[in-house]
Structure 1
């Protein structure tokens, strides 16, 4: 009985350790490779070690996931042969475990990664992944597989096939409401139409993609769409129409340090001005293009030199160690020959001293290694926590957009159906329904603004400018009799970054001021100006409306909310108004 209890305890302990090891292996395999801020060699070593740990406990799924991550790392390093081997090793294990979703995904991913190196094999692997996904109706994978397969068809100059697969991927994305993926499909379709010289279609789909990305404030996607729209005009030889789009893309790519796009924009602008016989501008943009091209090349050269220096220093140190060991051996032999007893004792003392020194160094290196491992573990835990927080924020914002947004839209539709479905509705009830519909529509706009702020840890001046401009554009459409203007002084530092709370408060104050001018002031002109002086920002919203008497008028909820928001960002706000002479709202806050 005692033996049975001992055996049971051993088995229970082993099962607990196995479970813990599996959790640790899975945790490492789920790391977001692009977000790891550690040297590339350390990332490779991390996943190689994780694969060995999974093999040690015969955890085949952990081994396969480790190889798939390792393949991704090698791909980013440009080690394509190692990447292919690791990915195929992972697929082989997935096939054994019958993990159909991963088999399909990694076959397709392997094919897509080879598109510019080996198009024949790229098509072969992509077709294998597509076949598995279609056989098992894996729509979540098929939306991207169809899109990427269309890219391969476009590279192979099969443009009708490319459009067919872009459309199939888009249908699934629309079906599952993939709001982030849809603009990518539209951009791909626009590119294919452009290659077919169907420029109107190409422009239509690039614009659709751009509008969606402006809603989500996807800066890099916006920059790419501006450049692509410029390319369409270039293909039509409408050089002057292409220039503004390149100029819109360029500041974004510079700010986001998107070097390849910046380089391409400079080259396109140089080509355009060359076509227009504007030699000064053509030369200027060509010089900018050459400078950034040389900069990218210089960085790569410096990286190669650094790698060679490390290799040289390592080899040099190894040779020095070998020389020192040889010298010590010679001295020891010489001492033994001269005096066996006295110098033998001295030699022994030297050896003991050397051993002690080596043991000390070994312990020191061991402690340093332990410290590095602790730091790495802490860094990985922090990265994983950040990833989870970002996923949670995205999930909440998507739920708000997809569920509450859809419900509000349903309410508006239902109210409209009531208005038009019943002809005998009284004027008072009709006006009430119109008011509810307008309020619900406004709630949708505010919900979108909230989602926009939730999706960002920080809000740039560019983001804020884009959002305010978008709001004013809506206001123009709502009130055709009112003239709007929005101006930012040249001395404003547009690189400044606000927290999401600061950015939202500034935006809401401007929004409230403009709404008040439209609703209550009957203004013919509304002007928004932003300036900077002595490390402070000033926002002025001026209208030419009927104004109000500040002495006799009690402040409502809107104006009090504006005051509260200005205090939250450490600023102050004042209202200047006279009957018949309009109103000015002045917001000051520190940079």
Structure 2
């Protein structure tokens, strides 16, 4: 819902860019513009102006994207023919705006950047460059590129301050605030949000002022300052009501209700959110209706009315399913699971918990519990040493018997006895060596199992034990609601243990000692994740590798690297196509995982997780991992290792 009214604010800057480059002789109305284009010959820049203005008017008055594309193609060709770079920059800005309105944000960013490049290359007016930079920041925000968005907006602000450009665009300052908020730096975002508010107050733009107040409320909300957030939400609502800005009224009413709930006044919040629900129904805004239903459910939970809470939460989930909003579906499913668990309805709770878990795109991470590992290693070491001492004693006894027999034997049998003793010694040594090797191999396997398993088994079971004890105490203290949440956490932890156990058992199973098994396992893991994100997925394995055996160490690290890479691809890349290939190159295994997503700069701190873990695993298996990527150019991960 916030994105909708934010777009309305930002389009004011787009319109400013067009007005600044249009001539006075070009008609203003769409019908007159159509007549002008039909009756004039494209012989000078006036015709390019008319094309650009007509495209702009069509965008907002008729949303006729097909004709807009045709007009802008013509405008771009003529602007280049006449070497009129101001018209070309305007054309690129119009095309970017067209893609912005149709939610094609990658293409929108590309053309906003082209507008900036032309403006800089041909030294066009600085106020136009200032506005275009603000548009680039908006497009980067739509793609979740928060760090680049902040840097672009700050560059625009520095340009404005250097050349004293007017008017100042409040949305540029708010873009910095939005980026900092998304980066978890709400406190640093506050000064920029306040500046944006001051600019809109000075210009008298009440719609923007209402949005700014709401955003300031969001920031204080993130900082846990409910009372300060409530003051800004009330100010936003007051302005929105005065100007009839119903979309923001709906958002403000819900936010006020949430803050009153945080301030332990849920009953006072109900009238606000019920009014928000009426406005959302009037607008037929299903997203806003879903949010309002969820907020009403939270208020009724605070009022201990579980019947009403359950009814409204189910309505919220039904709308989220209609909208196919996966984030809301996950959130509402989890809330229903918690609500049912609090009522001892564990069957219903499990159903919604399972529904939520099926939507989670993350890998279960197996970590090491050092204390448990050390205890198991000490036990196994003591056991091994005892067995070695026993073997040594047996060998000593055998040697003594052999010596006694040698001295008692007669001369005729000396050679035979010596030969037999030699054979016995060699046999005993080989047997001892084989037994010792088996013990050492068993020891390494046990240590590996301890390394992969005991954090999940040790720490999670310890957590379950602790929660069980707390549950008994909470029940004794007559706190059944809290005890029920503890029970919910216990069976969630137990399911995680089962998932981890299944993965570890697969890893150590000798029947999986082939690259074909690893590839099939990764394919089974990746395919549903790719389908959930509508990513075209290709999985290929070199036939020469299908029956090649691999050690447990290589198999384990190769599988975990593949899972981590696939998980990061699905979560962060925004790709439409991905490929996983297993190839044999120069007697080495090469695994390639590629996507055509948004990419990133490997030299900068990454928002993705697990890269260092993948590098460590590659080194542990004697391999080499390289990651090639650049913003907007996708990502390629290449792992090479010896397997034979």
TM-score (normalised: structure 2)? 0.43
Larger RCO, structures 1/2 (Cα 8 Å, 6+ apart): 2
TM-score (normalised: structure 1)? 0.47
